[in-house]
């Protein structure tokens, strides 16, 4: 990790490792930025979790509702969001399972923030985005799909994602300090300065982005979205991971954990589970994680990988997007780091 910092893959990192029910590593390294005058990263430093929101919040809500009999994988999206229908008959075949597995046919990403300036307008535009493929025929990782999935969950629960997750996910785990988009919702929130800046944004916000969600579409949505917006510490993410390794208690039934983390049978050659990803070759999880493993990455430089066979979870939080998002060096650091963790445990 120190080598990665020296190579400017990221200015700092916070890591947490659990093994066989124990927290065996919790560490902060480096600084918030590459300046020697910036704050040091601690084990409790709060990071923008980016797309880890998809699994820690959105997928977790789906699992919670599935256990309660209120969420059905085969249910069509138009039954909950009729605005998604439009003139294309294929849209009526998009199911919740397809959204979770990234096989809905929706495109990966659209810069909706360029034409929508509030949550309502952005969601209206997201509902109208044309399909890029026949539903269920190919896998394409889609932020748009999770934006719509988040909107559908809010319709089902009659609550916002942050309200439901604080009560039903974070509350039972006693990690209620996890929050969506600290800075944007709470401009003078004391935690704002405790979060490493993610980018010196010269294209959209024209300022340093710190304590508010990095993703522009999520930012326009007020920081509460199905695809991004959650903030947290490595320790809090590790508690969530431990819950899954513990069979889901106290949040989920064991069968539900197994169902959502199992690699999908179709489309062909997919590595996706429901919400989660699984190791492919080569994998950012390295070369040792078992085929039963599952995990997820976040654009800002975050990741969580879980191996139920080894009873191992590895949380890595960075702000690799500082000062801009051009560096891809973390892709070389991540697998080496995961390999080093497993090798240290085996020794």
DSSP string, 116-162: --SHHHHHHHHHTPPPSS-TTS-----HHHHHHHHHHHHHHHTS-HH
Judged against a pLDDT cut of 90, whether residue 330 lies above it is answered with yes
Q: pLDDT for 53-72, tens place per residue?
A: 999 999 999 999 999 999 99
**Parent domain of 238:** 2-60+163-346
User: Residue 194: what pLDDT?
Assistant: 84
pLDDT at 183 (0 to 100)? 67
| Confidence band, pLDDT 50/70/90 cuts, at residue 108 | very high
**Residue 12, both tokens:** 């700092």
Place of tokens 């999880």: 285
76-80 own/partner pairs: CB under 8 Å, 24+ apart = 77/104, 77/148, 77/152, 80/152, 80/155, 80/156
Q: Supply the pLDDT for residue 8.
A: 96
* Res. 30: pLDDT tops 80: yes
- Residue 122 belongs to some domain of the structure: no
What is the C-alpha to C-alpha distance for residues 333 and 337, in angstroms, rounded to an integer?
6
- Closest alpha carbon to 223 in 251, 188, 181: 181
307 falls within a domain: yes
CB 165 within 8 A of CB 159: no
Give residue 176's pLDDT. Answer: 67
Q: State residue 90's pLDDT score.
A: 97
> What would the mean pLDDT of 205-231 be, rounded to a whole number?
96
Lowest mean pLDDT of 177-186, 229-238, 286-295, 333-342, name the range: 177-186
Which one-letter DSSP state was computed for residue 52? G
What is the average per-residue pLDDT within 140-164? 98
In a domain, 206, yes or no: yes
- Let me know if residue 74 belongs to a domain: no
* Mean per-residue pLDDT of the chain: 96
Report CA-CA distances (Å) from 29 to 39, 45, 181, 337. 11, 10, 23, 14
Per the domain annotation, does 118 fall within a domain?
no
In a domain, 86, yes or no: no
Q: What is the arithmetic mean of pLDDT over 317-323? A: 98
pLDDT in tens, 166-197: 999 999 999 866 878 876 666 677 778 889 99
Q: Across-strand partners of 307?
A: 312
Contact present, 229 and 53 (Cβ < 8 Å): yes
Cα separation of 163 and 171, whole Å? 11
pLDDT higher than 90, residue 145? yes
**Residue 14 located in a structural domain:** yes
pTM over 0.85: yes
Output the domain CATH number for residue 320.
Answer: 3.40.710.10
pLDDT of residue 189: 73
Closest CA to 209 of 196, 220, 225: 196
CA distance 245 to 238: 10
Q: Over 70: is that where the pLDDT of 140 sits?
A: yes
- Residue 219 pLDDT greater than 90, yes or no: yes
Q: What is the mean pLDDT of residues 80-108?
A: 96
Mean pLDDT across 136-155: 98
Please count the structural domains in the chain.
1
Percentage of the chain surpassing pLDDT 90?
93
Instruction: Kindly report, residue by residue over 222-260, the tens digit of the pLDDT.
Output: 999 999 999 999 999 999 999 999 999 999 999 999 999
CA-based end-to-end distance of the chain = 19
When pLDDT is averaged across residues 191-213 and rounded to a whole number, the result is 93
Q: What is the pLDDT of residue 186?
A: 67
Give the distance, in angstroms, between the CA of residue 182 and the centroid of all CA atoms in the same chain.
Answer: 16
pLDDT at 104 > cutoff 80: yes
The H-or-E segment that residue 237 falls in is: helix 234-245
CA 141 – CA 107 distance, rounded (Å): 8
Residue 141 inside a domain? The answer is: no
């Amino acid at each position: 990790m120190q080598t990665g910092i020296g190579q400017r893959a990221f200015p700092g990192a916070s890591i947490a490792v659990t093994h066989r029910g124990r927290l065996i590593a919790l560490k902060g390294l480096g600084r918030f930025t590459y300046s020697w005058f910036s704050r040091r990263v601690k084990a409790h430093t709060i990071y923008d979790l980016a797309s880890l929101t998809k699994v820690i919040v959105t997928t977790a809500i789906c699992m919670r509702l599935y256990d309660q009999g209120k969420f059905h994988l085969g249910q069509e999206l138009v039954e909950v969001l009729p605005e998604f229908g439009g003139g294309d008959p294929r849209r009526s075949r998009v199911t919740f399972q397809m959204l979770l597995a990234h096989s809905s046919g929706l495109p990966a990403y659209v810069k909706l923030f360029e034409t929508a300036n509030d949550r309502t307008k952005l969601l209206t535009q997201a509902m109208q985005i044309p399909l890029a493929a026949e539903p269920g025929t190919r896998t394409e990782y889609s932020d748009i799909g999770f934006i719509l999935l988040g909107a559908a969950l809010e319709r089902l629960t009659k609550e916002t994602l942050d309200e439901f997750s604080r009560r039903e996910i974070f509350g039972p785990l006693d990690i209620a300090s996890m929050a969506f988009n600290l800075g944007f919702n709470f401009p003078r929130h004391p935690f704002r300065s405790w979060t490493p800046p993610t980018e010196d944004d010269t294209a959209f916000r024209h300022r340093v982005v710190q304590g508010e969600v990095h993703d522009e579409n999520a930012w326009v949505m007020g920081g509460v979205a199905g695809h991004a917006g959650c903030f947290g510490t490595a320790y809090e993410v590790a508690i969530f991971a431990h819950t899954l390794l513990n069979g889901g208690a106290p949040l989920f039934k064991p069968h539900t954990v197994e169902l959502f983390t199992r690699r999908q049978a179709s489309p062909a050659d997919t590595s996706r589970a429901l919400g989660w990803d699984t190791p492919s070759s080569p994998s950012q999880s390295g070369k040792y994680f078992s085929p039963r493993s599952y995990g997820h990455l976040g654009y800002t430089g975050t990741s969580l990988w879980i191996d139920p066979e080894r009873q191992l979870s590895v949380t890595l939080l960075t702000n690799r997007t500082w000062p801009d998002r051009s560096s891809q060096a973390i892709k070389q650091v991540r697998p080496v780091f995961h390999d080093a963790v497993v090798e240290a445990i085996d020794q």
